[in-house]
Structure 1
Amino acid sequence: MDKLYVICVDDQREVLNALTQDLESFESSLMIEECESVNEAWDVMESIDTNGDHVAVLITDQVMPANTGVDLLKKLKSDSRFQDTRTVLLTGLATHQDTIDAINAAHLDNYVEKPWKKESLHQIIRVLITKFVLSKGIDYQQYSDVIDRNTLFENLRKTT
Structure 2
Amino acid sequence: MDKLNVICVDDQREVLSAVMQDLEPLYAFLSVEDCESADEVIDLMDELDAEGEHIAVVVSDHVMPGKTGVELLTEISKDGRYTHTRKILLTGQATHADTITAINTAGIDHYFEKPWKSDDILAVVRALVTEYVFDHGLDYRSYQLHLDPEVMLNRLKA
Correspondence for 1:87? 87
- The question of whether the paired residues in 1 share the 8 Å contact of 2:38 and 2:72 is answered with yes
Which structure 1 residue ranges, 5 or more long, are not aligned? none
Which structure 2 residue ranges, 5 or more long, are not aligned? none
Q: Is 1:109 equivalent to 2:109 in the alignment?
A: yes
- The question of whether the paired residues in 2 share the 8 Å contact of 1:129 and 1:146 is answered with no
- The question of whether the paired residues in 1 share the 8 Å contact of 2:69 and 2:89 is answered with yes
TM-score, structure 1 normalization: 0.96
Deviates more, 1:143-152 or 1:85-94: 143-152
Q: CA deviation at 1:144?
A: 2.0
What does 1:60-71 align with in structure 2 at a 5 Å threshold?
60-71=60-71
Runs of 4+ in 1 over 3 A off after TM superposition: none
- What SS does the aligned partner of 1:65 have? coil
- What SS does the aligned partner of 2:128 have? helix
TM-score, structure 2 normalization: 0.98
Distance in 1 of aligned mates of 2:38 and 2:91: 15
Correspondence for 1:133? 133
Correspondence for 1:40? 40
User: Aligned Cα RMSD in Å?
Assistant: 0.7
- The question of whether the paired residues in 2 share the 8 Å contact of 1:4 and 1:31 is answered with yes
Correspondence for 2:28? 28
Query: Structure 2 counterpart of 1:76, which letter?
Result: I
Query: Structure 1 counterpart of 2:130, which letter?
Result: T
Correspondence for 2:96? 96
Q: CA deviation at 1:36?
A: 0.2
Q: CA deviation at 1:146?
A: 2.5
- The question of whether the paired residues in 2 share the 8 Å contact of 1:29 and 1:145 is answered with no
Equivalent pairs: percent with the same residue? Answer: 49
